[in-house]
Amino acid sequence: MPKLTVVVPAYNESEGLRDFHARVAAVLDRLDLETEVLYVDDGSRDDTYAVMCALREADPRVSTLKLSRNFGKELALTAGLDHVDADAAVVIDADLQDPPELIPTFVQHWRDGYDVVYGTRASRAGETGFKKMTASGFYRVMERLSSTPIPRDTGDFRLLSRRALDALGKVRERQRFMKGLFTWVGFRQLSVVYHRDPRHAGETKWNYWKLWNFAIDGITSFSGAPLKLATYVGLIAALVAFGFALWVLGKALLFGDPVRGYPSLMVVVLFLGGVQLMALGVIGEYLGRLYVESKQRPLYLIDEYHPSVG
Ligand code: UDP
Ligand code: MG
């Protein structure tokens, strides 16, 4: 019988984890597949791991993986996916924002031959207008800049076939923008629309600073466009400066030059200084990422791994 592993990254989710497991288990009971639920504890500071272990003792389908510290969701997810030996894996958040009841639909499409079946949010209940606006702006920018089209309003909630998993396993970059990587692997992909619920318990681990950095990670790992932009802004500024220089020179030669022009001088100096710093910043973003990659550190470290007994 084919096997399905549900990978659940969790960081400080002890409050809602039991309810989560009850709902997932009920869904898995109805599938005619061998199933496993792999909980990845991403260095939680509450008793999430203890809850996971209790779940493992009570349910033979449960596996637990504990990372040595908090590595962030992208890496927790990677660690989980690296430990999947099944024919397919489903990635789902532990906070019940992604309805487990959608898993059978994913499985159905997988059986019909799709490699990546992802959930697209038709609504985002429990999120502020500002969050929705920034998210939509981000997707629009990504669409423009990236050569890998990243589907809108799509989180990590999805099913991956064995060959999609194998392909992802070969991607060892450290700044992992998973949404992008999932799309990058290609094969046959399908979107399933669903309504995203508010968080069941606990609170979100995101704040705007983290989201901003997440967006920069996404853009820099899937597009070199900002570097090109720096080049072209530089080029245009240089051309304008050259034209202005000719004008100033001509004026001085024809009419002489009583010392004036402090405002225009300041404007030019400040403008060019600003453009230069911005371009350096863009280069710095890429260089910093290159630096992290070049260190070749392992993506994550494992504290304990207990495979399911069932
Ligand atoms: N998560 C994680 N490590 C982290 C932060 C989050 O494993 O450092 C998990 C978290 O427990 C949850 C999922 O990633 O299962 C999504 O997190 P969250 O609900 O905070 O994100 P949001 O739904 O607000 O995008
Ligand atoms: Mg959430």
Indicate if 151 and 267 belong to the same structural domain: no
Q: Mean pLDDT lowest for which of 7-11, 108-112, 152-156, 258-262? A: 258-262
Of 201 and 11, which is predicted with more confidence? 11
**Mean pLDDT, the chain, integer:** 87
**What mean pLDDT comes out for the span 43-60?**
93
Report CA(42)–ligand 1 centroid distance (Å). 10
Indicate if 115 and 128 belong to the same structural domain: yes
What is the count of structural domains for the chain?
2
Contact 81, 168 (CB under 8 A): yes
**What mean pLDDT comes out for the span 70-98?**
92
Indicate if 139 and 161 belong to the same structural domain: yes
**What mean pLDDT comes out for the span 14-40?**
92
Which of 205, 210, 213, 217 to probe ligand 1 with, by most ligand atoms within 8 A of CB?
205
**What mean pLDDT comes out for the span 228-238?**
80
Show the CA angle centred on residue 235, arms to residues 234 and 240, nearest 5°.
100
> What pLDDT is attached to residue 126?
67
What residue owns the CA closest to ligand 1's atom 10?
10
CB burial readout 19-55, b (16+ within 10 A) else e = ebbeebbebbeeeebebbbbbbbbbbeeebbebbbeb
The atom number, within ligand 1, closest to the CA of 71 reads: 8
Indicate if 216 and 242 belong to the same structural domain: no
Indicate if 216 and 237 belong to the same structural domain: no
Strands (E), 94-223: 116-124, 154-161, 189-196
> What pLDDT is attached to residue 62?
94
Strands (E), the chain: 3-10, 34-41, 62-67, 88-91, 116-124, 154-161, 189-196, 302-306
First-last CA distance in the chain: 14
- What is the pLDDT confidence band of residue 243, given thresholds at 50, 70 and 90? confident
The atom number, within ligand 1, closest to the CA of 12 reads: 11
Take residue 127 and report the two structure tokens written for it.
């999120």
Which residues are within 8 A (CB) of 119 and not within 5 positions of it... i.e. 6 or more apart? 98, 102, 106, 154, 155, 157, 158, 191, 192, 193, 194
Report CA(291)–ligand 2 centroid distance (Å). 31
Query: Over pLDDT 70: what percentage of the chain?
Result: 98
Reported ipTM: the value is 0.92
Helix axes 208-222, 262-294, angle to 10 degrees: 80
Take residue 95 and report the two structure tokens written for it.
């906070």
What residue owns the CA closest to ligand 1's atom 5?
73
For 178-203, the pLDDT digits (tens) are 888 888 888 989 988 888 777 776 77
> What pLDDT is attached to residue 5?
95
pLDDT at 88 over 70: yes
What residue owns the CA closest to ligand 1's atom 9?
10
Q: Mean pLDDT lowest for which of 7-21, 31-45, 210-224? A: 210-224
For 267-295, the pLDDT digits (tens) are 778 778 878 888 888 888 888 888 888 88
Domain that holds residue 286: 224-295
- What is the pLDDT confidence band of residue 43, given thresholds at 50, 70 and 90? very high
**What mean pLDDT comes out for the span 28-37?**
92
Indicate if 127 and 274 belong to the same structural domain: no
pLDDT at 52 over 80: yes
Indicate if 187 and 265 belong to the same structural domain: no
pLDDT at 224 over 80: no
For 107-133, the pLDDT digits (tens) are 999 999 999 999 888 877 667 788 788
What residue owns the CA closest to ligand 1's atom 18?
204
For 168-181, the pLDDT digits (tens) are 999 888 888 888 88
Indicate if 171 and 216 belong to the same structural domain: yes
Distance of alpha carbon 241 from the chain centroid: 40
Contact 91, 77 (CB under 8 A): yes
- What is the pLDDT confidence band of residue 304, given thresholds at 50, 70 and 90? very high
Query: Alpha-carbon distance 303 to 66, whole Å?
Result: 5
Contact 175, 287 (CB under 8 A): no
pLDDT at 149 over 80: no
Report CA(250)–ligand 1 centroid distance (Å). 62
CATH code assigned at 127? 3.90.550.10
The atom number, within ligand 1, closest to the CA of 70 reads: 8
Indicate if 87 and 212 belong to the same structural domain: yes
Indicate if 97 and 193 belong to the same structural domain: yes
Indicate if 144 and 216 belong to the same structural domain: yes
The atom number, within ligand 1, closest to the CA of 13 reads: 11
Ligand of minimum distance to the alpha carbon of 131: 1
Indicate if 75 and 108 belong to the same structural domain: yes
